[in-house]
Amino acid sequence: MMTDDWDETTYCNGCGCPRPATEGFCPECGCGEFSLGPNEQYRARQSHTEGSDTVGRKNLENTEEKRTPVKMRPIVRKHQGKVTEPWKILERLIAEVPEFEHLKAANVKLYWSKDWKADVDGIATGAQVCKASEIDRLLVEEGGGDTPDVFIKLPEKQWPALDDTEKDHRLFHELCHVKPAKDANGDQKRDSKGRWLWRLARHPITAFHEEIKRYGVDRVLGHNAEVVKAIEEAERPLLAAAEKAEAEKTAMVQTSADWRKLPITKTLTLTESIVAKCGAKDILTLGDFQQFQAKHGEFWAKELGLKGNQKEAVTAAFDRFWAEHPEFCGEAEADAGYGAIEHWEGLPG
């Protein structure tokens, strides 16, 4: 605030001593540069800004207000007279799935949500379910609406890109969480207003892929009898295809009178790169491989062009084959003939 007692003194920029503005040089340090005193500086600023109401303060009229984006909005049940897709899937699942019979008494609300980002482990949430709180119910009831029981949130931008099965699966999964809260007699609870009470069930299957790889699916999931039963009863196209391929492979080996004629692509687990290199050398069967190894001896891998750990991969593949079919071992040892091929890579003995 400016005072009535103006400070007309100037100050030397060199040593800071006060000097009259009429003196050309400071006698103390010889500096010829002077600055106005504090009050004089204030008065100069006031004179410069006189008549302006925008300098030195924020112009609110020209500043765009930054607002926090809304991340959720309701999914309308009908649009242009037609039931929207998420609601159609929801209502169909509740009507068709026997395990969802209890959900016919639940008031489920659907919401679009901003897509979830993947976490540090690369896992992104596909959908979310939450139970309506007491406050949620009171606010809706005060507004004259239907009392909600459960909210399900779906990713708005991602949803159109999902196929029908994925959309169905995501809603099915969230509905699986919703269970009736029961009393000691096994009956669903109600509150003092007569409203049904619900709970959110936890996932019965929780495992890491490293855990399954180390200990196997049976051990990881075997602790839950219901999960094991569901797996046994479920359609498993990937496993079914693998089991079919394994059965065909076993049948082919069992019906073959000569193991030398068995194709390497059907009997050995090899990478595409190794199979391609074998094909380039006209190695199509186990017999072809035996002859190639016998011809090149200990240098067979080099002649085949195998690199890195590919030689070990081939050896391991043969080890598995002989372990699964010991009936051919004696014959193969006799055919190997001599030690130039080191008992034939992968051959027992």
pLDDT in tens, 203-225: 877 777 787 777 777 777 666 66
93/196 same-domain check:
yes
Cα 314–chain centre separation: 35
197/93 same-domain check:
yes
Structure tokens at 145: 């609406």
Cα 149–chain centre separation: 29
Q: Domain for residue 53, yes or no?
A: no
Q: Has residue 154 got a pLDDT over 60? A: yes
Q: What separation in angstroms does the CA of 46 have from each of 1, 4, 36, 39, 50?
A: 11, 15, 14, 11, 6
How many C-alpha atoms does 135 have within 13 Å on its Cβ side?
0
pLDDT at 82: 92
Nearest alpha-carbon partner for 107 in 146, 78, 67: 146
Q: Are residues 136 and 55 in contact, defined by beta-carbon separation less than 8 angstroms?
A: no
pLDDT in tens, 251-274: 555 544 567 788 888 778 888 888
Domain that holds residue 324: 254-341
**108-113 and 150-155 beta bridge pairing:** parallel
How many C-alpha atoms does 204 have within 13 Å on its Cβ side?
14
Q: Domain for residue 292, yes or no?
A: yes
pLDDT in tens, 9-38: 666 665 666 655 555 566 666 666 666 555
pLDDT at 133: 87
pLDDT in tens, 310-347: 888 888 888 888 787 776 665 555 444 433 333 344 44
User: How large a percentage of the chain has pLDDT more than 90?
Assistant: 22
The rounded distance, in Å, linking the Cα atoms of 205 and 99 is 18
191/295 same-domain check:
no
The rounded distance, in Å, linking the Cα atoms of 186 and 183 is 5
Mean pLDDT computed over 282-287: 86
6/90 same-domain check:
no
Q: What separation in angstroms does the CA of 338 have from each of 242, 298, 318, 343?
A: 38, 12, 18, 7
Domain final position from 48, 64, 85: 48
pLDDT at 123: 77
pLDDT in tens, 76-133: 999 889 999 999 999 999 999 999 999 999 999 999 998 888 878 777 888 999 998 8
The rounded distance, in Å, linking the Cα atoms of 79 and 99 is 29
Query: How does DSSP assign 58-93, residue by residue?
Result: --GGGSPPP-PPP-EEE--SEETTEE-HHHHHHHHH
Q: Domain for residue 155, yes or no?
A: yes
Mean pLDDT computed over 51-55: 49
- The mean of the pLDDT values for the chain is 75
pLDDT at 13: 61
Indicate which CATH number applies to the domain containing 110: 3.30.2010
38/95 same-domain check:
no
Domain final position from 169, 202, 235: 202
The rounded distance, in Å, linking the Cα atoms of 314 and 267 is 12
172/260 same-domain check:
no
Q: What is the pTM of this model?
A: 0.49
Mean pLDDT computed over 179-207: 89
178/296 same-domain check:
no
Counting the structural domains of the chain, the total is 3
Q: Domain for residue 54, yes or no?
A: no
32/80 same-domain check:
no
